[in-house]
Structure 1
Amino acid sequence: MTSNHSITQEPLVSVVICSFNRENTIFQTIDSILSQQCDFFFEIIIGDDCSTDGARELCLNYKQRFPEIFKLVFQTENYGLGKNWALAVKEARGRYLAFCDDDDYWHNPNKLQMQFDFLEKNKDYGMVHTEIDLLVEPQKKIVKNNNLNKYIPQGYLFYEIFKGKVPICFSSSFIRKDAIDKYLPLDLYIQHCFNIQDWPTWMFIAKHVKIGYLNISTTTYRTGHSSISNTNSKKKIEEKLEKDQFMYQLICSYFPNDLTYNEREYILYKLGILLNFAYKQNQYRSAKKYACRLKNLGCNNLKVKATTNIFLFKLVRFLKKNRAILQYM
C-alpha cells in the first residue's frame, strides 16, 4: 500500500474478504491486497464465518500489524457465505467496494487504481470487473486470461446476467457504495442466509446501473479445489441446489415485471448438475436415473445418451476427465 495517511482518514475504498477455514490461502489473499499501488487510502474488512482452523489467528495478526487498515467482523456462529458477506459489507465506509474471496488473490498491483479511475471517469457506470487468470488445483497450473477470447458485454446487463451469459469473477469486481446502498437489500441476504453472494448481487445492481469490463487480468481465481461449488458430497450439492432454487424464486418475485420463475427450467438445471456429479463420482446407476428424468423432459444430450450403456458411460467419463486435464497442461 503506497500511501501515508492518518488513521483517522476515511477510506475511499473498502475491500471485503469473506473467510471460512482458509488458513492455507487467505494470507496470499491479504498480502495481494496490501501490495496494491494506489494513491488513496483503503480499508480491509474481513468477515470470518466462525472458522475452526487457524484463519482467525492469522487475521488477528494482520490486525495487530496494521490496525489502521483492518477491521475484523468475527461471527459467533457459522451463518453461511451470503449472510456473513452482507454483515461485513454493512461495516464498509468507502466510496467504493472491492471484494476478494479467501482462496483468490490479486496478481495485478494496479487493480484498485485502475477500477477506481474507471468509475471516477465513467459516472454512468456503477460497477466494473476485469479479466482473470485461473489457478487450477491440484495441478497448480496457471491459465492466463481465461476470458480473453470471449465476448464480454458491457452496459445494462440485467437479462444477460439472469441467463448466465456474463462471466463475472466476484474477486475482480469493484462497485460504487451508493449503488449498494440504494439497490442491494442486504437484509434479505441476512434474513434468508443466502448461500452465495455473487449472482444475486449482480442481479440487484444490474437492474439499475451499467456494468463495465476491463480487458486486463488483475485477479487469480482458484478452481478445482474443495469449495461450495466443488464438493464430493451429494448431500451438500442437493442442499445447495435447494437454496439456489429458493434464491431463483426470490429474485423473480423481486422483479415481477421483468422475470418469470420457470419450474421446468430449474428442474433441468438441477438434474444436469446431479448428472454431472454422478459422472464425476463414477456412479452409473445414479447417472442413468437422472438421465431418464432429463430425457422425459426433452433433454437428450451426449451425457444423457451415454447412460444407455455402461461402456459408453465410462468412455464419456474418461474423455471428459482427460480433456479437462489436457486443457490445463
Structure 2
Amino acid sequence: MSLVKNLLVSISCTTYNHEDYVTDAIESFLMQKTNFDFEILIHDDASTDGTSSIIKEFEEKYPDIIKPIYQTENQHLKGIKASGINVKRAKGKYLAVCEGDDYWTDPYKLQKQVDYMESHPECSLCVHAGYVVSASNKEIQRYSRPNKINKIYTAEEIIEFGGGLFLTNSMLYRTELDRNRPGFFEKAPVGDYPLAINLALQGTVYYMDELMSAYRVGDSGSWTVSSFSTIDNKIKHFDQISIMLNRINQYTNLQYQHVITRTKKRIQFYLLVEQEKFKEALKEEFKFIYSEFGYKDRARMFLQGYFPGILMSLITIKRKLNL
C-alpha cells in the first residue's frame, strides 16, 4: 500500500521498552494481505531503550501507513491509558489491537475478521485463538484456545471469564463503540478486560477457532510479570478488579449482578488457594468452582492467565472431596 485510500482498519499498537520485540509486531502488521487499506497507530510511552528509534525507521519507510506518537513523559504513570489515545485518533471503521511485544502470525487475520464483521453488523467484537510463546525464543508454551469450535460469547461469559478468555492481540472491534468509554473502564487497573465487557454490552462477541497471533510470556520487565510477581501484588490487583466489577454492576443497573457475584467469588477462591488457605477455600460458597474445575476449558484459561502453578492444588482438593 503506497497511499491510504480505502481505509477500513486502524491497528492500535502500544509500546514501552519493546526494542527486542517491536520489529516482529510491526512486520506482522505490514504482512497483512487485505482488499482494504489500514493504518498503524503506534503509541510509544516514553521508552528508555531503542524502541522509538526502531519505530522511526519503519515510519520513514511507510509514512502513509505508520503514524506514531512519541511521548516524552510516561502516560501510564499518570494514569492515562495509551489505548484511549490511539482510539481517539483512529480513522478506521474497525480497530485491531496488538501490543508492541506481541505479534500476529496469520497474514489473512485482518481480512478474515473484517469479512465476518462486515456480514454481521450485530457483532461488536471479533476474537480468535492464539499461541502463548516464550519471550526469549518464541517457543510455544501453550495455546490460548477457549473453545474448539467457532462460538458466540455472551456478555455474562465475558464478565465471568473475559480476563483470561482470549488474547488481547486477537481483538478487532467497531471503533465507534469505544469512542466514549464508561467510568468503570477509565478507572480499571487493566484495559483489555473492561474493553471486552464494554463491547459485549453493545453487541455479540464472535470467537474464531483459528490460531492467528502470538502472546509472549516470560519477559521479566513485562506488566504481567511485575503485577503478579507476589501474592501481595495479586491481592492488590484483584481488589481493584472487584471495585471495577462493582462499578459495572451499577452501570448495568444490576442486570448482571449474579454473574458479577460469581466472578468475585472465583477471584476470592483462587487467591485463597494461592495462599494455601485450603480450609477457607473448602467453604460451601466456593463449591460451584470445584464442580466445574477439571472439565471446563474456560476455567483453565482463567487459571493459566492469572494463577499458573495451582492447577495441581485444585485437583488435589477435588479428589479429597470425591467430586
| TM range, smaller chain | 0.7 to 0.9
| Aligned with residue 115 of structure 1, among 113, 116, 125 | 113
Query: Are the structure 2 counterparts of residues 60 and 121 from structure 1 closer, same or farther at C-alpha, using a change threshold of 3 Å?
Result: same
Match of 1:247 among 244, 249, 255: 244
**1:235 and 1:21, CA in 2 relative to 1: closer, same or farther beyond 3 A?**
farther
RMSD: 3.4
Percentage of pairs with the same residue: 23
Matches within 5 A, 1:135-154: 135-136=133-134, 140-142=138-140, 146-147=144-145, 150=148, 153-154=151-152
Match of 1:307 in 2: none
Query: Residue 160 of structure 1 aligns to which amino acid in structure 2?
Result: E
Query: Aligned-pair distance for 1:77?
Result: 2.4
Correspondence 1:28 to 2:24: yes
Shift of 1:178: 2.6
Is 1:198 the equivalent of 2:185? no
User: 2:215 is matched with which residue: 221, 224, 228?
Assistant: 221
Q: Deviations over 1:94-147 (max 9, x none)?
A: 111101122211110111111111112222222211221221456743267642
Matching residue within 171, 177, 180 for 2:178: 180
Match of 1:46 among 10, 20, 42: 42
TM-score by length of 2: 0.76
Structure 1 residues 257 and 63, CA gap change in structure 2 (3 angstroms): same
Structure 1 or 2, whichever has the larger Rg, is: 1
- In structure 2, list runs of 5 or more residues that go unmatched: 291-308, 314-323
Q: SS of 2:14's equivalent?
A: strand
Instruction: Quote the Cα distance in structure 1 between the aligned partners of 2:35 and 2:46.
Output: 34
Q: What letter is aligned with 1:63?
A: E
In structure 2, give the amino acid aligned to 1:168: F
Q: CA deviation at 1:40?
A: 1.7
Per the TM alignment, residue 49 of structure 1 is displaced from its structure 2 partner at its CA by: 2.5
Partner of 2:317: none
Of 47, 60, 78, the residue aligned with 1:64 is 60
Question: Are the aligned partners of 2:145 and 2:166 in contact in 1 as well (CA < 8 Å)?
Answer: no
Question: What is the number of equivalent residue pairs in this alignment?
Answer: 288
Give the equivalent residue in structure 2 for 1:306: none
Asked if structure 2 preserves the Cα contact closer than 8 Å seen for 1:18 and 1:46, the reply is yes
Deviates most, 124-133 or 146-155: 146-155
After superposition, what is the alpha-carbon deviation per residue over 1:29-82, rounded to whole angstroms, capped at 9, x for unaligned?
Answer: 111111111122111111222322222222222222222112223342242687
Letter in 1 for 2:215: Y
Distance 1:318 1:85 in 2: 32
List alignment gaps of at least 5 residues for structure 1: 277-286, 303-316, 322-329
2:265/2:286 contact within 8 Å kept: no
- Which of 70, 75, 82 is residue 74 of structure 1 equivalent to? 70
- SS for the counterpart of 1:131 is strand
Compared CA separation, residues 268 and 297, structure 1 to 2 (3 A): farther
Question: Which residue pairs with 2:81 in the alignment?
Answer: 83
Give how far 1:197 is off.
1.2
- TM-score for both structures, normalised by structure 1: 0.74
SS at match of 1:164: helix
Which of 204, 215, 224 matches 1:210?
204
